[in-house]
Homo-oligomer: A and B are copies of this chain.
């Protein structure tokens, strides 16, 4: 019902990072695509098959190093139902290797509709007495613009099945301030108001290490706000995108952590997925290159944090 499982895994691997699985076709080595297209043609099914092979290789290489993966739903949805099948298979494979899986779907709706998303991504779907997991991740990113009606249905599923959510608070993109930085009467920014909601919602999902099951997405590209929010939201665990390709470095993400080196997990997608291209190695070595980049990123961030300690 909290992020305790994730936090334990981060401490065990001494690595507060997550590998984003955003599998663009241009990132996938030729030998994988060639085989998939030979079997299925240049179709949605063929692309999905290539993505699954690619993801499995990455997961095999990353599982001993990185505690979590974050598949971005859009890159599966764009391949239609075959892509969504591969999203489910990727999640299952990563969990079978012991990884914590965060589906980045930024889902949002209200009432019974949000219950449907909660069942889809974190819970199970009931079919007249039988139940089946549709996607079955450990955590889901969500958008809180609709208020508590959009969040409460998730809290129940999280409590029942030991899952968590990350609510968009201050996103990493250049225009995030258009709405999120606006000042509300009373002096709060919109993002800070959303952060305060996370603390409130999180009270229903307390965790053993001080962090609830309601986390927040806060971009590495805004280190000042990251520090402000770390201080203001002591029970809210942060998912921090924007490291690497988007411009954030180890110094930029460090304000997101507490004095135990906990409180945040930093995502990198492109830098890990394309490590083989950047390193100029053959496509056959993509997984090894991804693992090497994941180690570099871990060491970069751990160089700032020193050690990750679980509080008593």
Contacts and interface: CB of A to CB of B under 8 A. Distances in A.
Give the copy number. Answer: 2
B78 A134 contact: yes
Contacts of A194: 179
Given A134-B83, A178-B197, A180-B147, A173 B78 contact: no
A147 B43 contact: no
Nearest to A182: B184
Interface string A106-139: 1111111110110111000101111011110000
A146 B127 contact: no
B88 A80 contact: yes
Contacts of A110: 171-173
A75 to B, nearest CB: 5
A242 to B, nearest CB: 10
Nearest to A117: B74
Contacts of A24: 112
Interface of A: 22, 24-25, 33, 37, 41-44, 46-47, 72, 74-75, 77-85, 87-88, 106-114, 116-117, 119-121, 125, 127-130, 132-135, 143-150, 168, 171-180, 182-185, 190, 193-194, 197
